[in-house]
């Protein structure tokens, strides 16, 4: 997408809440995006750099169609978890902070950025959301397929228990999964969960240099990607 130096990239916000729309406009302006907000789905009007849409107020299918027509990624938010096609964009579960919104928007606004995660066969994603194979130059930083974990292009072996745990966390990414649920999945006690979490952190977070499996006090663990 080409823009002159004096023309900021255009964005669009689909939101029925005027107060939230103003906050989103301000946040995107901070990121260098001139975004306008609307309370109804407009006709496509050229290319956009980003579409931010309220999945609680607008049909997801309509948001996806508009994003495709405008040749832009979709940042969809809502209370109910929605799986987006791998190449369509990112889903953000409500409630969320503006810092989280900024993080996800930055990821979508950089067209050359590689996807962080890819889950293939054996993952909890439904068939319609199965990831397409990315180009070699845009390989995901973390990928899991058929029980084989790849981090920064290097294969990292996983045990069946580690694979099951990671897939469960991925299926509920962005939300806490209780220790009890994970312990039941592993067929052991809560101590075994902590052991496997430590092992996964060493295999994933240490090479990436960032924390991704977060401890949620009094609840369990949450995968942030």
Token pair 């919104």 is at which residue? 101
Q: Give all strands of the β-sheet with 34-38 in edge-to-edge order.
A: 34-38, 10-14, 50-54, 74-78, 89-93
pLDDT score at 58: 94
Distance CA 122, CA 144 (A): 9
pLDDT score at 147: 67
* C-alpha of 39 from chain center: 24
Ranges in the chain, pLDDT < 70: 1-7, 85-87, 110-140, 146-147, 189-190, 225
Nearest by Cα to 42 from 78, 14, 22: 14
pLDDT score at 82: 80
Q: Does domain 117-223 have CATH number 1.10.10.10?
A: yes
- For the domain spanning 10-109, the CATH number is 3.40.50.2300
Per-domain boundaries in the chain: 10-109, 117-223
Q: Angle CA(63)–CA(140)–CA(221) in degrees, nearest 5?
A: 80
- Tens digits of residue pLDDT in 15-37: 999 999 999 999 888 888 899 99
């Amino acid at each position: 997408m080409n823009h002159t130096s004096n023309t900021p990239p255009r964005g669009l916000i689909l939101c029925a809440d005027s107060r939230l729309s103003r906050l989103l406009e301000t946040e995107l302006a901070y990121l260098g995006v001139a975004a306008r907000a609307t309370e109804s789905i407009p006709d496509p009007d050229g290319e956009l750099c980003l579409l931010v849409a309220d999945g609680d107020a607008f049909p997801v299918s309509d948001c996806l169609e508009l994003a495709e027509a405008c040749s832009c990624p979709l940042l969809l938010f809502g209370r109910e978890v929605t799986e987006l096609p791998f190449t369509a964009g990112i889903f953000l579960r409500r409630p969320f902070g503006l810092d989280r919104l900024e993080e996800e928007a930055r990821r979508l606004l950089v067209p050359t950025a590689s996807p962080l995660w890819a889950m293939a066969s054996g993952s909890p994603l439904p068939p319609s959301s199965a990831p397409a194979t990315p180009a070699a130059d845009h390989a995901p930083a973390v990928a899991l397929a058929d029980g084989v974990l790849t981090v920064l292009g290097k294969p990292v072996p996983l045990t069946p228990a580690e694979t099951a745990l990671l897939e469960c966390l991925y299926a509920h990414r962005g939300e806490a999964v209780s220790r009890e649920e994970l312990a039941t999945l592993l067929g052991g006690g809560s101590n075994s969960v902590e052991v496997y979490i430590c092992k996964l952190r060493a295999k994933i977070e240490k090479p990436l240099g960032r924390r991704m499996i977060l401890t949620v006090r009094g609840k369990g663990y949450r995968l942030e990607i």
